[in-house]
């Protein structure tokens, strides 16, 4: 994959092709360095696009164990806007050129990289080298090789790494995991998951630019469907076959529009997923020996909704998924709680994405997946 320079990225942002979001670290690194008893970690957001603006920054106003302490942006006009809105001191505001100076800032413990996918590896690695814990937005990177580089950089720097899989922290997803783990409906036999949306009529958005995104619907929404199939079955798949469809080739010139894939699992269960940038889809369904359960919607920002074959409604009070996700990561650092979305989980999903693309390139041939049974499940118990 051709590397995208920061200069090219800023040029594209000026054309409205995309933005980035950054979460910075909290006072943990400084707590470890000075021996102070830090109660909250400072988070810096890298890139101030829509996800940072409308989801992450507001969520950080409600988190219990971390807070918004800094930002990184390639758009100078945003600096004062964010400083005023969130009372961020000037010394905690960075751009892509002076980003490495963040190493000297004790206010920042965690860096949340929410840049276009092709820039994840660079800034995660730079954050790790600066001694900051890292949250990397999904997908983790644009290749398994880049995932390995991020994991190695964090390991070498002695910092923690989490992936922005917000659903791993929210209660509906964890109720599905409980059904599977406790065999509430018996062994799972079949799982299906759909994740997609209609991308509209803006061909200049960065997600349709392969140099920025690394792929289309699969890397953007497909990881949600992949995750649903995995936690809905409680297993990692052992093989996959896949197909790609395009009904608007004049619009989706550079990236995949719609992909379907079929998984087989170690216990003989099977799964189907569909992901698209041209179809609204948001559900998961699990059929087991003695019944079924489903979530619909299953992967939006919430509130989610679910039901079971026994007539029960799956219902929980709504909370910001981003708030829960970032607090979970902070608790992992502060209190040694499980890392519910570790780097290995992001790498696992990229291994599966690469296998799906391989199957498509080979005309839908079956591709074997050599994953350990519990690889990528993080700190969560498996069935």
Give 269-300 pLDDT, tens digit per residue.
999 999 999 999 999 999 999 999 999 999 99
Residue 115 has pLDDT above 60, yes or no: yes
86: left (phi over 0), alpha (psi -120 to 50) or beta: alpha
Instruction: Give me the catalytic one of 94, 224, 231, 285.
Output: 224
Report the run of H or E that residue 360 belongs to, with start and end.
helix 343-361
Each residue of 163-200: pLDDT tens digit? 999 999 999 999 999 999 999 999 999 999 999 999 99
Percent of the chain whose predicted confidence (pLDDT) is above 70: 89
Residue 30 has pLDDT above 90, yes or no: no
Which carries the bigger pLDDT value, residue 17 or residue 50? 50
Q: Which residues pair with 286 in a beta bridge?
A: 191, 293
Q: What is the pLDDT of residue 378?
A: 79
Q: Where are the beta strands (DSSP E) in 96-219?
A: 110-114, 133-136, 161-163, 188-198
Q: Which of 14-23, 106-115, 127-136, 367-376 is the least confident region?
A: 14-23
Report d(CA 208, CA 56) in Å as an integer: 23
φ and ψ at 76, to 5 degrees?
Answer: -55, -35
Which carries the bigger pLDDT value, residue 31 or residue 227? 227
138 is an active site residue: yes
With CA atoms as reference, report the closest residue to 197 among 315, 326, 297, 76: 297
Going from N- to C-terminal start, the domains of the chain cover 6-164, 168-317+343-368
Instruction: Give me the catalytic one of 38, 40, 138, 347.
Output: 138
Region 249-265: what's the mean pLDDT? 97
Each residue of 205-255: pLDDT tens digit? 999 999 999 999 999 999 999 999 999 999 999 999 999 999 999 999 999
Whole-prediction pTM? 0.90
Band of residue 8 on the pLDDT scale cut at 50, 70, 90: very low
Each residue of 57-92: pLDDT tens digit? 999 999 999 999 999 999 999 999 999 999 999 999
Q: What is the pLDDT of residue 373?
A: 87
With CA atoms as reference, report the closest residue to 292 among 189, 365, 143: 189
Q: What is the pLDDT of residue 379?
A: 67
Q: What is the pLDDT of residue 17?
A: 41
In the numeric block, which tokens belong to residue 63?
């988190």
Q: What is the pLDDT of residue 136?
A: 98
With CA atoms as reference, report the closest residue to 113 among 85, 158, 168, 154: 154
85 is an active site residue: no
Report d(CA 110, CA 332) in Å as an integer: 12
Q: What is the pLDDT of residue 64?
A: 98
Band of residue 105 on the pLDDT scale cut at 50, 70, 90: very high
Q: Which residues pair with 94 in a beta bridge?
A: 72
Band of residue 9 on the pLDDT scale cut at 50, 70, 90: very low
Percent of the chain whose predicted confidence (pLDDT) is above 90: 86
Q: What is the pLDDT of residue 56?
A: 98
φ and ψ at 359, to 5 degrees?
Answer: -60, -45
Query: Could you tell me the fold of the domain covering 168-317+343-368?
Result: Dihydrodipicolinate Reductase; domain 2 (3.30.360)
Report d(CA 214, CA 39) in Å as an integer: 38
Mean pLDDT, the chain, rounded, equals 91
Each residue of 313-339: pLDDT tens digit? 999 999 999 999 999 999 999 999 999
Q: What is the pLDDT of residue 73?
A: 98
Region 137-159: what's the mean pLDDT? 98
CATH architecture of the domain 6-164 equals 3-Layer(aba) Sandwich (3.40)
């Amino acid at each position: 994959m051709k590397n995208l320079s920061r200069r090219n990225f800023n040029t594209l942002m000026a054309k409205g092709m995309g933005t980035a979001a950054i979460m910075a670290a909290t006072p943990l690194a400084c707590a470890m360095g000075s021996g102070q008893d830090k109660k909250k970690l400072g988070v810096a957001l890298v890139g101030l696009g829509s996800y940072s603006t409308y989801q992450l920054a507001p969520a950080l106003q409600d988190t219990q164990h971390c807070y918004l302490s800094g930002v990184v942006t390639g758009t100078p006009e945003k600096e004062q806007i964010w400083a005023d809105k969130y009372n961020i001191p000037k010394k905690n505001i960075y751009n892509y050129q002076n980003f490495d100076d963040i190493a000297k800032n004790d206010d920042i413990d965690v860096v949340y990289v929410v840049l276009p996918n092709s820039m994840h590896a660079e800034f995660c690695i730079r954050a790790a080298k600066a001694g900051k814990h890292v949250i990397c937005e999904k997908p983790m990177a644009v290749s398994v090789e880049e995932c390995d580089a991020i994991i190695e950089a964090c390991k070498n720097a002695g910092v923690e790494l989490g992936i922005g899989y917000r659903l791993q922290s929210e209660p509906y997803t964890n109720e599905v995991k409980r059904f599977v783990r406790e065999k509430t409906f018996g062994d799972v036999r079949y799982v299906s998951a759909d994740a997609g949306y209609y991308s509209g009529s803006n061909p200049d958005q960065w997600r349709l630019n392969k140099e920025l995104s690394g792929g289309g619907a699969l890397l953007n929404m497909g990881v949600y469907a992949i995750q649903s199939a995995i936690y809905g079955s409680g297993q990692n798949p052992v093989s996959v076959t896949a197909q790609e469809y395009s009904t608007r080739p004049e619009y989706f010139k550079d990236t995949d529009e719609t992909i379907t894939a079929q998984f087989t699992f170690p216990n003989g269960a099977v799964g189907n997923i569909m992901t698209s940038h041209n179809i609204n889809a948001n559900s998961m369904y699990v059929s087991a020996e003695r019944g079924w359960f489903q979530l619909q919607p299953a992967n939006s920002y919430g509130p989610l909704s679910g039901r079971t074959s026994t007539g029960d409604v799956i219902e929980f009070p709504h909370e910001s998924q981003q708030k829960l996700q970032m607090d979970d990561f902070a608790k992992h650092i502060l209190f040694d709680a499980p890392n519910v979305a570790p780097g290995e989980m992001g790498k696992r999903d990229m291994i599966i994405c690469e296998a799906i693309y391989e199957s498509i390139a080979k005309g839908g041939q079956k591709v074997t997946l050599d994953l350990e049974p519990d690889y990528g499940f993080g700190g969560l118990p498996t069935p």
